[in-house]
Chain A
Amino acid sequence: MAESNTVVIIGGGFSGLTAAVEAAEAEKDVIVIEKNPYLGGRVAQLNKYFWKLCPPTCGLEIQFKRIKNNAGVKIYTLAEVQDIKGEEGNFDVSVKVNPRYVNEKCVACDACAQACPSYRDNTFNFGMDKTKAAYLPFNQAFPMQYVIDRNSCAPNCKACADACKYNAIDLSMKPETINIKAGAVIMAMGWNPYDASKIDNLSFGKVQNVITNMMMERLSAPNGPTQGKIIRPSDGKEVKNIAFVQCAGSRDENHLPFCSYICCLASLKQAMYVREQYPDSKVRIFYIDLRTPGLYEHRFLKKAMDDPDITLTKGKVAGINEDPETKDVIVEVEDIFSGSKTKLKFDMVVLATGMEPATKTFQTIKNVSYTSDGFVDTGAKKGIYPVGTLKNPVDVVRSAQDATSAVIKGIQSLRRI
C-alpha cells in the first residue's frame, strides 16, 4: 500500500471540488489547493448553466455541504503548488499559502469592508466594478470569509482591523510554505479566458461596448456589477440589440487552435438571458459551425432557433469598429448564405472567447509534460492525473464526469505501491 492515503487536488473549481468530495466520500484523505480566496472556480462566476439555465451555486451548495459534512477534506485557499517531488504513492507536495489577513474567526459581518477606505478592481467581475480592499469575494462564497487585498491597502492603514469585533483580522500574516505527503495528485487547475485583446481585429479593449462572454456572465448575474441588469459599459443603455461573435480566438491558429467547446452553448444561453430580460430585444449570433453536440445540447439549440428574435448567421465576424457618436458597435461579416459582406450595428457585442488551459501559463509542475497548446499530456506520470479542461476543453458536466473518473485512478495509485 501507498505510504500516504492522501490525495492532493490542485484546484478547487468544479473539477477539483468534484474529485475532492468524491474521493473523501470514498474515505480518502483529501487536500485541496486553491489559488483563489474561494472555491468554485470559473463556475462560481457563471450566472446560469447551459442547457438547464440553472444556477451553478445550486450544485456548489451541495458540494460545499458535502465538504462541511466530511472531515476528510482539508482546504487551502490562496495557495499555489510550488513543486512536487517523489513518486506515485509517495509524493512530497510543497505549497505556498499566501496570507488572507483574515482568520477563521471571521463572521462575514462586513464591518471591515465598511471601515476600509481603499478600493480595488473586482477581479471576480473582470474589473467591471470595484470592491473595498477588505472584501468578500462574492455573496455565496465558500469559505464565507473576507479577504484583504494588501496591494490595494492605503499605507499603514489598519481601519479594518480596528473595526473587527471578532479578532478576525491579522495584518501581520506572512506567506507560508507547507509540505504535504500524498499518494496521488489530481491536477484540476481549470482554464482561463483567452485574452481577447490579442485578437486585434475584434477590437476588445478599444471599443467600449465589446465585452467577453465571461464578462457577460457577470453582467447577467444578480451578484454581478449591475445586479444582473444587462446594460452596456459605455453609457448604461439597456442592451436590446446584441451580437455574439463565435470563435473569438478559438479554432484559430493565431490564437487557440482548438475549439473551446463551451462557447456555442454559452452564447445561446446568453442570448436567452437577453431575450428574457428584454422581450423586445433582438439577438444575432455569428458562427462558423454551431456546436451543440449531444442530446440536451442540441435541444437547447433548437429552443434558440425557435425564437424568431434570435438569428443565427453563418459567417465569422472579422472586423469590429465603433460608431464614435453613438458608441454603437459595428461588426463586419460575410453572411455566407446571402453571399454578401455587410456592416451591422449593435448596442453591444459579446465575444465568445475560448478557454486556455491554466497549464498554458502555469507549468510549475515538472512531473508531467505539456502539449504545444498548453494542455497536460494525457500520458501523464503515474500517480498524477490531470482532469477536465486540462486535458481538453469541456463543459461542467464533462468536467465533473472526468473528475470522478480521475478519483478511481487516484485510488488505484494509493493501493498500487
Chain B
Amino acid sequence: MAEQVISPDLKFVEDVIASGGGDLKKCYQCATCTVVCNVTPDNKPFPRKEMIYAQWGIKDKLISNPDIWLCHQCSDCTAYCPRGAKPGEVLGAVRKLAIQHYSPTPLSKMVGDPKYLLILFAIPVLLFLSYIVPKGYLDFSAIPRGEDGGIVYSKFMPVFPQIDVTFGAAAFFAVVCFVLGIKRYWTDMNKGVSAQGNIADSIKATISEILAHKRFEKCNVTKDRKTAHLLVFYAFIGLAITTTLAIVYLYGFHYESPYPLYDPLKLIGNISALALLYGITSVTGNRLKNAEKAGKGSYFDWLFITVIYAIVVTGILSELLRLANIALLAYPIYFAHLVFVFFLFAYAPFSKMAHMVYRATAIVFAKHTGRDK
C-alpha cells in the first residue's frame, strides 16, 4: 500500500471542537463506538476511524467521506463511549463542517456561528420591511382587509411579486448552492472508489429507504427518534405539497387565498403543520431526555430545530390569529413566520437543513459503491 503523508491540521481540529465536537480529543481508540453502532457497515466501520482522523485534523479523509452521512446520530456510540468523547456529536460537527466546506459562500461560515445570527435574521427582516414600510403598513389599520373584513395576509404582503419572487429567488439560490456543493462532494467521494451497478437503482433504493426511515430503527439509545424524525419529514413533504397546490391554485386557477378550512390544500397544510409541531416537539423532547447519554447537541443543531419550531409555531398562530381577527398580533406573527421561512430556505445549503441533501447523496453513493449493503 502506498505511503500516505499525514499532515495534521490543528485548525480543523479546533473547528470540529468549536462545532460541537468538544470532547473529541478524549477518544483513545478503543472501538466501542463502531461495535455498538448498528448503522455502520462491517467493513471499515465508523465512527472510530473518523474519530482519529478528526483528532489529527485530517480533513480530506472526513469531509468527502460518505460515512459521516451514513451516521444518523443515534448516539449509541456516545452513550457507550468509555471516555465521554461523544463520537455522535463529533460526527455531527464534522457534518456541519462538510456542509460549510461544500457550500462555499461566506454564508456557510455565518450560519454555523452564533456571532452572525443577528445579521442573518436582519437580511429577511429588512427585505420584508422594505416591502411594507413604503406602504405605511407598519400602521396595521392601513392594511386592506378582505371582503368579509377579515385579515388577508396577501394584502399585507402580496404573493406576487413580493413573496413569490423573494422565495423563488431564495429557493433558486439554495438550489444552485446545493447543486454546486453536491457536485463537488460527488467528485470528491468518487476519488479512488469504483462504482458498482446502476445509479438509478441506487437512487431508487435510497428514496425508498428514506421514505421508510429504516436506518433509524437500528438506534438503541435514541429509539424514539424514528417517529419524531418521520413526522417532521412527512410534515415537510405535506407542506411542500401544500405550497405546490397553492402555486397551482394561484397561477393555474387564479384562486387566491385565504382558502376555506375544508379545502384540500388547507387540510393538508394544517395536518402537516400539526404533525410538524408534534414532530419537532418530540425531537426537542428526545434530545433533552437523552442529553446525558447522547450529548447535548451543538449550536448548529439547535438553531435548525429552533427555526423549524419558530416556523411551525408562527405558522399556526398566523392562521389562528387571522381567524380570530386579532390584527395587532396577526401581522407581526405572520411577518416573523415569513422571516423564519426565509431563514430556513435561503440558508438551507449552509444549515443543518442541508443534511437531507448530503445524506441522501451519501446514501446513494454508498449504495452505488457497495459500501452500504
Contacts and interface: CB of A to CB of B under 8 A. Distances in A.
Q: Do any beta carbons of A and B sit within 8 angstroms of each other in the complex?
A: yes
Nearest to A200: B80
Interface in A311-345: 315-319, 332-334, 336, 339-342
A77 to B, nearest CB: 38
B43 A318 contact: no
Contacts of B43: 339-341
Q: Is the interface of B mostly helix, strand, loop or mixed?
A: loop
A306 interface: no
Nearest to B28: A288
B36 A254 contact: no
Contacts of A247: 30, 82
A288 B29 CA distance: 7
Contacts of A315: 30-31, 35
Contacts of B144: none
Given A201-B80, A333-B35, A316 B30 contact: yes
Contacts of A251: 28, 30, 82-83
A336 B44 CA distance: 9
Contact of A318 (B29, B31, B40, B84): B31
A85 B34 CA distance: 52
B209 interface: no
Contacts of A289: 28
Interface residues on B, range: 10 to 19
Interface in A292-323: 315-319
B113 interface: no
Nearest to B52: A336
Contacts of B44: 339-340
A235 interface: no
Given A252-B82, A316-B30, A340 B35 contact: no
Given A334-B45, A336-B48, A341-B42, A316 B83 contact: no
B282 interface: no
A253 interface: yes
Interface in B59-113: 80, 82-84
A252 B35 CA distance: 15
A363 B32 CA distance: 33
A341 B80 contact: no
Interface string B6-35: 000000000000000000000011111011
Given A201-B80, A247-B82, A332 B35 contact: yes
Nearest to B32: A318
B96 to A, nearest CB: 25
Nearest to A254: B82
Contacts of A341: 34-35, 40, 42-43, 45
Interface in A81-132: none
A341 B45 CA distance: 7
B28 A319 contact: no
Contact of B31 (A201, A252, A254, A334): A334
Nearest to A252: B82
A194 B340 CA distance: 52
Nearest to A334: B31
A316 B80 CA distance: 12
B84 A253 contact: yes
A336 B84 contact: no
Nearest to A319: B35
A334 B35 contact: yes
B64 to A, nearest CB: 18
B80 A318 contact: yes
Interface centre among A201, A251, A318, A332 (most CB of B within 10 A): A318
Contacts of A252: 82-83
Given A315-B31, A339-B43, A340-B45, A201 B36 contact: yes
Interface string A224-264: 00000000000000000000000100011111000000000
A250 to B, nearest CB: 9
A247 B29 CA distance: 13
A339 B30 CA distance: 13
Contacts of A336: 29, 31, 48
Nearest to A251: B82
Contacts of B48: 334, 336
A318 B81 CA distance: 10
B35 A288 contact: no
Contacts of B80: 201, 254, 318
Contacts of A340: 42-45
B222 to A, nearest CB: 16
Nearest to B35: A318
A316 to B, nearest CB: 4
A317 B36 CA distance: 9
Contacts of A332: 35
A340 B44 CA distance: 5
B150 to A, nearest CB: 59
A372 to B, nearest CB: 14
A120 B259 CA distance: 79
Contacts of B83: 251-253
A317 B45 contact: no
Nearest to B42: A341
A253 B82 CA distance: 5
A248 to B, nearest CB: 11
Contacts of A319: 35-36
Interface centre among A247, A252, A332, by most chain B C-beta atoms within 10 angstroms, is A252
B69 to A, nearest CB: 19
A296 B34 CA distance: 34
B31 A333 contact: yes
A158 to B, nearest CB: 52
Closest 5 CB pairs of A and B: A252-B82, A318-B35, A334-B31, A316-B30, A318-B32
24 contacts: A247-B30, A251-B82, A254-B82, A255-B82, A288-B28, A288-B29, A288-B30, A316-B31, A316-B32, A316-B35, A318-B31, A318-B32, A318-B80, A333-B31, A333-B35, A334-B31, A339-B43, A339-B44, A339-B49, A341-B35, A341-B40, A341-B42, A341-B45, A342-B42
Interface of B: 28-32, 34-36, 40, 42-45, 48-49, 80, 82-84
Given A254-B80, A336-B29, A342-B42, 8 more contacts: A255-B82, A288-B30, A316-B35, A318-B32, A318-B35, A334-B48, A339-B44, A340-B43
